[in-house]
């Protein structure tokens, strides 16, 4: 009998301790628990799950958390496009409609072979990033598009194609604003522009007017005529290049008509 008592005592002690510590752990779990927004899991469910990072976040889970916190737009997933944006918007109780702040890729160069001069004939790897390593590329203008289609190949949405004039053509309807083309361009001739913008300075040169004229027929020569005719003071010359402030621009088109080299175009 005493033998059984000796065995039961430690068993009971351990059982009591287990219950006590279990209760403490359960209490701590509730008190110190990190509350998770249930919408995060709902958003993850509707995302493609590609974890491509095109949204600017490490993966779909990180993007979902950012959306739930209000730090990322509901239409920020370029892979899912409008369908996924609509589903996320429904979860968040907001609209997925794209406003003027939605950014689209635009080519800021018109330097095709018929208007831009070349300084050499390039025979090498068919990639702008490789060509630029050889004296900055074949164009006389050090800021112009090289036209080898690197942007076309990196676009995951087939939004870019090469035109007959040797320059890339961007389909704004297919562009999701993922920035991959912009980041891949070694010349910086692709910029993200608000979708509502109707005019664009289609030049990337920062050379003085005389040098621009020698290199390209349609380059910005920093004459300042666009600055003078703009009724909204939305244009300024920055480092020999006209820059339009989209927040002030009303898309009146006065600058387009005034530009002597047609470096400012309508979209």
Specify if 9 maps to a domain: no
Averaged confidence pLDDT in the chain: 89
Average pLDDT for 27-41: 76
Q: Minimal CA–CA distance to 193: which of 68, 105, 61, 71?
A: 105
pLDDT at residue 18 tops 80: no
Dihedral of the alpha carbons of 226, 231, 236, 242, in degrees to the nearest 10 = -30
pLDDT at residue 252 tops 90: yes
SS3 for 107?
Answer: strand
Average pLDDT for 118-146: 96
Average pLDDT for 184-191: 98
pTM: 0.72
User: Domain residues for 65?
Assistant: 39-47+57-92
pLDDT tens for 77-108 read: 877 877 888 899 999 988 776 655 678 999 99
Average pLDDT for 4-14: 68
CATH number at 176 reads: 3.30.70.20
Can you give the pLDDT at residue 101? 62
CA distances from 8 to 14, 17, 18, 144, 164 (A): 10, 14, 15, 87, 91
Residues 203 and 173 both lie in one domain = no
Specify if 142 maps to a domain: yes
Specify if 32 maps to a domain: no
Average pLDDT for 178-190: 94
CA distances from 17 to 2, 9, 14, 21 (A): 23, 12, 5, 6
In the structure, what pLDDT confidence band is assigned to residue 76 with cuts at 50, 70 and 90? confident
In the structure, what pLDDT confidence band is assigned to residue 125 with cuts at 50, 70 and 90? very high
């Amino acid at each position: 009998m005493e033998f059984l008592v000796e065995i039961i005592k430690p068993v009971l002690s351990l059982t009591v301790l287990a219950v006590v510590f279990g209760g403490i752990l359960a209490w701590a779990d509730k008190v110190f628990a990190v509350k998770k927004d249930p919408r995060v899991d709902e958003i993850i469910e509707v995302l493609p799950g590609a974890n491509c990072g095109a949204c600017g976040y490490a993966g779909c889970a990180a993007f979902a958390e950012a959306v739930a916190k209000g730090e990322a737009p509901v239409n920020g997933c370029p892979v899912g496009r409008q369908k996924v944006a609509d589903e996320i918007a429904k979860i968040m109780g907001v609209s997925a409609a794209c406003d003027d702040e939605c950014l689209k890729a635009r080519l800021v160069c018109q330097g095709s072979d018929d208007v831009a001069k070349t300084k050499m004939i390039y025979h090498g790897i068919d990639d702008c990033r490789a060509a630029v390593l050889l004296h900055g590329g074949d164009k006389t203008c050090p800021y112009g598009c090289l036209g080898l289609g690197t942007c076309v190949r990196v676009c995951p949405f087939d939004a870019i194609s090469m035109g007959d004039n040797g320059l890339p053509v961007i389909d704004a309807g297919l562009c999701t604003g993922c920035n991959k083309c912009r980041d891949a361009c070694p010349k910086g001739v692709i910029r993200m522009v608000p979708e509502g913008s109707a005019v664009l300075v289609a030049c990337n040169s920062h050379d003085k007017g005389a040098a621009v004229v020698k290199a390209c027929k349609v380059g910005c020569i920093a004459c300042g005529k666009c600055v003078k005719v703009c009724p909204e003071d939305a244009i300024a010359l920055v480092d020999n290049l006209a820059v339009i402030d989209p927040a002030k621009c009303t898309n009146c088109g006065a600058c387009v008509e005034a530009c002597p080299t047609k470096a400012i175009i309508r979209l």
